[in-house]
Structure 1
Amino acid sequence: MQAEILSTGDEVRTGAVVDTNAAFIAEALETIGITVTRHTCVGDDLDDIAAALREIASRSDMAVITGGLGPTADDRTAEAAARAAGVVLEEMPVALEQIERFFCARGMVMSATNRKQALIPQRALVLENTDGTAPGFRMTIGACRMVFLPGVPREMRPMLARHVLNDFTQQHRSDGVVHAVDVMPTFGLPESVVGDKLKDITPTNGSLRVGLRVLFPEIHVRIYGQGDRPETLAAQMRQLKETICERLGKRVLSTDGRRLPEVLGSMLMERRATLAVAESCTGGLMAKQLTDVPGSSGFFLLSAVTYANEAKKAVLGVKPETLERYGAVDEATAREMAEGARRCAGADYALSTTGIAGPDGGTAEKPVGTVCIGLATPEGTRTFRYVFPFGDRDLNRRLFAATAFDRLRQYLMGTLRVNGSDEI
């Protein structure tokens, strides 16, 4: 089945708001075997929305439309849908009841302007929105099944799950069609190398296919499967994942979609071990990513953002002579930062980062993209120095943090030693 996505609203059309909905919907539909062929964006003009709906209906099996279901004058998607279908708007009691219930549950009185949101195209099916005031609806224009959802992501996402993904999955189960998607994040190899290593692994029967997605600094291997027997499909995907792990080795972070910080957190919790971090160039990014992991209080003890040299000395105990002799961006400084963080927190492990994220501040000896990382463990401390080829501050900071996490991950895996020479 092929589908299209239509995003509405002047704020999206002009770029004032980034359309994250389209990306989320496309990825979600792919997981249930629906191929998205086009993304379209139009503003708030009634004629433009209606024309876009008619055009989509002429060529696609299905469409998901977001935005324009609010209470204001420029929210005109329902009206455009009615015009495209050649029907009128009706005040739907079930929609009005949902809106009133939403306000009542919060101790509020519904404004008269919100009554507009109960106007739904004739013969459309109202879709409940438990997180906002804009009911969605489902209708058919021509031969195209269309689902209309609010544009607010926190409202759209649960509605997509309930009213599109779940319904479609149930329908295809009854048809005997099974879809599955697995994601295997990797780190440490460029996309071209990952692609080259995996170019000949998919079965010839077409039941499985492999795609790559860059979520910098990770490369995600995505496996898409389709079949008529869940057990057979699961076995095929399991075998393919084993082959991918054999080819990519320690670069595979997980086979269940977990990304690097979550994988590292799980490894620490399994060992009942704790971690502290000392950050300079990453400016708290490592702490942010670690505390994004559910249950991080079980392994993460301390973050020290010691940006200035005085802070490195006062908080972490970095020796003045180390800074004077080597400077802030040096393996010797990274060593003392990591050891100081481990000592301050009483942690099992500590990581440190000190580098030059850019876009300026580099020298011939220490160009932009240089980072020094410290890994302090009960067995001792090891340091690393890398020079990455990016001039972008944000990219460098994300890569610095991920590289530090991966050093500890590989140490815990046993593929990196404190006293040894291992390539990243």
Structure 2
Amino acid sequence: MKAYILTIGDEILIGQVTDTNATYMATALSEEGYEVVEHLSVSDTRAGIMRGIDHAMQSADIVLITGGLGPTKDDITKKVLADYFDTELIFHQTTFDRLLRLYHRFGKEPTEAHRMQCALPRDAEILTNERGTAPGIWMEKDGRVLVSMPGVPYEMRYLINNEVMPRLREEYPVDDKVRSLTILTAGAGESTIAELIEPVEDSLPEHMSLAYLPNLGTVRLRITTRGDDEERMQAELEDNKQQIEELIGQYVYGYGRENLAGAIGRRLIEKGATVATAESCTGGTIASLFTGNAGSSAYFLGGAVTYSNALKKAMLGVRLGTIKKHGAVSEATVREMAEGGRKKLGADYVIAASGIAGPGGGTDDKPVGTIWLAVAGPEGTYTKLLRAGKDRKRNITFTAHQGLDLLRRVLDGLVK
């Protein structure tokens, strides 16, 4: 069964926002076996939306739309839907009553624009949005279904998970399901990983596939299988997962949607250990990756951002003689940052980073992208030299992930 994704908004077309909605919807549809045939983004104009809807309805059995359901004048999706389905907008009292309760809870009154937001196509089935004011809209025509949802990502995700996908599974079932398993790796590039697991990839049957999803310092491997036998599909995924682990186990840090900092947190909790950061060029990025995970207070104590040499001395106990002799960007300095961080911050492990993120500041001896990392822990102190590029943001992100992976390798006993 074919599905089409249509996202509406000038902000998408001009690059003001990243269209994460399409990715989320495509994943949800694909996991249930629906074939996503196309994704189109259109402007906030009647002509653009009408053309998009018409093309989508001719191309697929299921059409998912986001955007244009808000209370402002440029939110015209409902009116265009009414015209396309040859119906009219009517005031939906139930939606307005729910909106009233929501606003009264915060001591506010809805505006006339919010009242107009409750004018919905007569022939639509209304999907309750518990995360916002605009409901979802479910409409059918000639055996095809169109679902329109708000463009706010967390509102769309609520509707997809709680309203749209459960109903699609029931009313528009597919025989062949798609099941995937994601293996998360760090410490090796895409080409290296591909070469190491080539025997597994070459032996995959036709109904299975392997995709590589690289990012700065990490590579996700997604194994996918298709069929109608749930037990067989899960067994296939597990078998191939084990084969891949045997070949690249040292690079595997987790599975599914776990992130590297969260995977390290899981390891630290298992060890009953804590971590802190001592950062210069990354400016707190490593710390923010830890605190981005719920429950990180169980293992993350905090961090010191010591951009200046004076603060490296005052907060971490780095000797100015070390900096004078070797420079702020050096193995000696980053080693003292990590070891001093353990003493000053009281953590079992400390990740330290000092480097030249760019685009300026490099020298012949230490060009832009020269970055030193260190991890100090009960096992000792381990250092690593990075040779990155000249893009500052990429260097900071890359360094943060490399620092996390160095700690992971220490925790996993992979660093000697």
TM exceeding 0.5: yes
User: What residue in structure 1 maps to residue 328 of structure 2?
Assistant: 328
Contact 2:95–2:118, Cα closer than 8 Å, also in 1: yes
Where does residue 89 of structure 2 map in the other structure?
A: 89
Residue equivalent to 1:108: 108
Q: What are the superposed Cα offsets for residues 78-105 of structure 1, whole Å, 9 maximum, x if unpaired?
A: 1111212222223333333333333344
Q: Give yes or no for contact 1:84–1:141 (8 Å, CA) kept in 2.
A: no
Q: Using a 3 Å threshold, how does the CA distance of structure 1 residues 162 and 259 change in structure 2: closer, same or farther?
A: same
**Bigger Cα displacement from structure 2, 103-112 vs 77-86:** 103-112
State the distance in 2 between where 1:333 and 1:65 align. 54
- Displacement of 1:18 in angstroms is 2.9
Cross-structure match for 2:345: 345
Q: Could you give the per-residue CA deviations for residues 88-137 of structure 1, whole angstroms, max 9, x where no partner exists? A: 22333333333333334433333222222222223211011112111111
Contact 2:123–2:139 (8 Å) recurs in 1: yes
Once the two structures are superposed, residues 164-201 of structure 1 have per-residue CA deviations (whole angstroms, 9 ceiling, x without a partner) of: 233334557x7665432222111122223333444553
Change (3 A) 1:408 1:227: same
Gaps of 5+ in 1: 418-424
CA distance in structure 1 between the aligned counterparts of 2:197 and 2:4, rounded to whole angstroms = 30
Structure 2 CA distance, aligned partners of 1:342 and 1:232? 49
**Alignment check: 8 A CA contact 1:208 1:237 kept:** no
Q: CA deviation at 1:58?
A: 0.9
* Cα distance between partner residues in 1 of 2:362 and 2:212: 33
For residues 5-404 of structure 1, the aligned pairs below 5 Å read: 5-170=5-170, 177-199=176-198, 201=200, 205-388=205-388, 390-404=389-403
Partner Cα separation in structure 2 for residue 200 and residue 378 of structure 1: 38
Aligned to 1:420: none
Hey, what's the Cα distance between the residues in 1 that align with 2:78 and 2:195?
48
Look up the SS of the partner of 1:189 in the other structure.
Answer: coil
Using the TM superposition, give the Cα deviation of residue 249 of structure 1 relative to its aligned residue in structure 2, in angstroms: 2.2
TM-score by length of 2: 0.93
> Tell me, what secondary structure is at the counterpart of 1:324?
helix
- Judge which range, 308-317 or 111-120, deviates more: 111-120
- SS at 2:253 equivalent: coil
User: Cα 1:94–1:206, aligned 2, differ >3 Å: closer, same or farther?
Assistant: farther
- Note the alpha carbon deviations across 1:389-417, whole angstroms, 9 max, x for none: x2111111111111111112111111112
Do the aligned partners of 2:31 and 2:177 also contact (CA within 8 Å) in 1?
no
My pick for the range that moved more, 35-44 or 348-357, is 35-44
Q: C-alpha distance in 2, partners of 1:271/1:196?
A: 33
Question: In structure 1, how many angstroms separate the alpha carbons of the residues matched to 2:341 and 2:301?
Answer: 10
- Contact kept? 1:98, 1:128, Cα under 8 Å: no
Q: How many residues align?
A: 415
The 3-state SS of whatever aligns with 1:302 is strand
3-state DSSP class of the match of 1:283? coil
Judge conservation of contact 2:63–2:146 (CA < 8 Å) in 1.
yes
User: CA-atom RMSD, angstroms?
Assistant: 2.0
C-alpha distance after superposition, 1:209-240 (max 9, x if no partner): 22122233321111223332322221111111
Query: Distance in 2 between the 1:400 and 1:88 partners?
Result: 56
Shift of 1:268: 0.6
Q: Tell me, what secondary structure is at the counterpart of 2:200? A: coil
TM-score, normalised relative to structure 1: 0.92
CA contact (8 A) 1:94 1:126 kept: no
CA distance in 2, matches of 1:136, 1:103: 19
